[in-house]
Amino acid sequence: MADPWQKAYDFAVEVAREAGEEIRKAGECEMKVQTKSSTVDLVTKTDERVEKIIIRALKGEFGDGAFIGEESVANGQPCVLSDKPTWIIDPVDGTTNFVHGFPFVAVSIAFAVNKELEFGVVYSCLEDKMYKARKGKGAFCNDEPIQVSDVEEIKKSIIISEHGTDRRKEVVTKIFSTMQKILCIPVHGLRGSGTAATNMCLVATGAVEAFFEIGIHCWDIAAGAVIVQEAGGVLMDVDGGPFDLMSRRMVSANNKKIADRIIKEIEAFDVTRDDAPVQKKE
Ligand SMILES: O=P([O-])([O-])O[C@@H]1[C@@H](O)[C@H](O)[C@@H](O)[C@H](O)[C@@H]1O
Ligand SMILES: [Mg+2]
């Protein structure tokens, strides 16, 4: 049977590489910083311009299909994953890093059909690392196969968690209480790159054992989810339930033993699902 998605996968890799080049070239003029959900949830002209370049390229090559893009959603487009072939895009994952020149910024492009993720591409453009994976066909970094760590003992692990952009005291308290409990297991260390997509690729390469976060969006993690799974890792909800792409909470790990141990320490807080009905303005 003809392989329906190989051409789209290969094209997505090239689009991600071109988008990464645009990010690297973006000058001071595009560093004009605006904010979204909070004063620390940043967006720049580069985020918006690069997303338009990606969507234009994909539409030009593949016409139909739905799009969920971080900046399109921020500008009012719906965020609903249907059975239609759907591109899930974060044009600049790690926008705060981009603004500050902190060297982890990724282009994340995923593709889903019938709500199933078919492939994911994450281009860490300042490191020039192209991570990619197709369902059932393995995960790669710069075309070399990658695999999760074989560590099973939590006390021999590095764990990634991020603090996100919600600065409400009750949320920050839960985030840091969780981090403190994990650190004092003790684990070898806590890390965070500032971009969920890159954090998931670090799980997939075995550089760390797990990454979890509450508050991320589907576009941050969709591509990384395929890459972690194809590298032999596991994905689940922060309460141990099944992974739910639109729930804005996720644990990705090298194996279930590490994931289950981390989940014991997570103090969850409420977040609004990505696909929640949009509140009508009065
Ligand atoms: O906004 P963005 O740079 O695309 O995405 C970022 C995520 O990748 C990261 O995991 C999270 O901690 C940040 O708050 C931010 O949401
Ligand atoms: Mg982004």
Task: Compute CA 250 distance to the chain's CA centroid, rounded to the nearest angstrom.
Answer: 10
pLDDT at 47 over 90: yes
Q: Is 51 in the pocket of ligand 1 (CB under 6 A)?
A: no
> Please, what's the largest Cα pairwise distance for the chain?
55
Q: Which atom of ligand 1 is nearest to the CA of 42?
A: 1
pLDDT digits (tens, 9 = 90+) for 153-188: 999 999 999 999 999 999 999 999 999 999 999 999
Return the pLDDT at 226.
Answer: 98
ipTM value for the complex: 0.96
pLDDT at 1 over 90: no
CATH 3.40.190.80 fits 154-263, yes or no: yes
Judged by its nearest atom, the ligand closest to the C-alpha of residue 48 is 2
Q: Is 91 in the pocket of ligand 1 (CB under 6 A)?
A: no
Residue nearest to atom 13 of ligand 1 (CA): 164
Q: Which atom of ligand 1 is nearest to the CA of 97?
A: 3
Annotated binding residue 267: no
Annotated binding residue 239: no
pLDDT digits (tens, 9 = 90+) for 93-105: 999 999 999 999 9
Q: Say what percent of the chain tops pLDDT 70.
A: 97
Q: Where are the domains of the chain?
A: 6-145, 154-263
* More reliable by pLDDT, 37 or 150: 150
Task: Compute CA 147 distance to the chain's CA centroid, rounded to the nearest angstrom.
Answer: 18
Return the CATH number of the domain spanning residue range 6-145: 3.30.540.10
Return the pLDDT at 281.
Answer: 62
Q: Please name the residues in contact with 32: beta carbons below 8 A apart, sequence gap of 6 or more.
A: 44, 45
pLDDT digits (tens, 9 = 90+) for 114-134: 999 999 999 999 999 999 999
Annotated binding residue 220: yes
Domains 6-145 and 154-263 share a fold: no
Q: Is 196 in the pocket of ligand 1 (CB under 6 A)?
A: yes
Q: Is 216 in the pocket of ligand 1 (CB under 6 A)?
A: yes
Residue nearest to atom 10 of ligand 1 (CA): 196
Annotated binding residue 162: no
Q: Tell me the pLDDT band of 40, cut-offs 50, 70 and 90.
A: confident
Q: Is 278 helix (H, G, I), strand (E, B) or coil?
A: coil
Question: Measured in angstroms, how far is the CA atom of residue 135 from the centroid of ligand 1?
Answer: 25
Q: Is 94 in the pocket of ligand 1 (CB under 6 A)?
A: yes
- Amino acid symbol at 49: R
Structure-token match 């070898």, residue found: 188
Q: Tell me the pLDDT band of 48, cut-offs 50, 70 and 90.
A: very high
* More reliable by pLDDT, 64 or 150: 150
Q: Which atom of ligand 1 is nearest to the CA of 199?
A: 10
Beta bridge partners of 211: 160, 252
For residue 91, whether the previous peptide bond is cis, meaning omega lies within 30 degrees of 0, is no
Closest of 146, 149, 100, 140 to residue 121, by C-alpha: 140
pLDDT at 64 over 80: no
Instruction: Among 162, 179, 249, say which to mutate for ligand 1: greatest number of ligand atoms within 8 Å of CB.
Output: 162
